[in-house]
């Protein structure tokens, strides 16, 4: 320790700072309450989409969940591009 130059000591400090920052960010992400995303219901409306590739299935969601349709998305819905990434089957 006594042989360290001031510069070396500073580098070491920066490394520690980065580690702490990374840890803090990870910790915050972990603690942040996840928004509860409803699963896609397993009922007669959605039955066809369970054994379809995701990209195929997502083409049909707006047939019922589009604006003006019977079951529009809620107003506060996040950007709805890939339904099945968020709504698990």
Q: Which of 2, 6, 35, 67 binds ligand HEC (CB under 6 A)?
A: 35
The 3-state secondary structure of 32-85 reads CCCCCCCCCCCCCCCHHHCCCCHHHHHHHHHHHHCCCCCCCCCCCCCCCCCHHH
Q: Taking contact as CB under 6 A, which single stretch among the options 8-16, 17-25, 73-81 is the one that binds ligand HEC?
A: 73-81
Q: Which of 41, 42, 47, 56 binds ligand HEC (CB under 6 A)?
A: 41
Indicate the length of the chain as a whole number: 89
Supply the minimum distance, in Å, between the C-beta of residue 74 and ligand HEC. Answer: 5
Q: Which of 4, 8, 11, 37 binds ligand HEC (CB under 6 A)?
A: 37
């Amino acid at each position: 320790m006594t042989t360290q130059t001031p510069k070396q000591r500073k580098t070491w400090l920066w490394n520690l700072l980065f580690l702490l920052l990374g840890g803090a960010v990870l910790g915050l992400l972990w603690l942040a309450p996840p928004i509860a995303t409803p699963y896609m219901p397993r009922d007669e409306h959605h039955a066809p989409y369970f054994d379809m590739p995701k990209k195929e299935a997502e083409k049909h969601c707006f047939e019922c969940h589009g604006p003006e349709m019977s079951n529009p998305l809620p107003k506060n819905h996040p950007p709805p591009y890939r339904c099945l990434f968020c709504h698990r089957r």
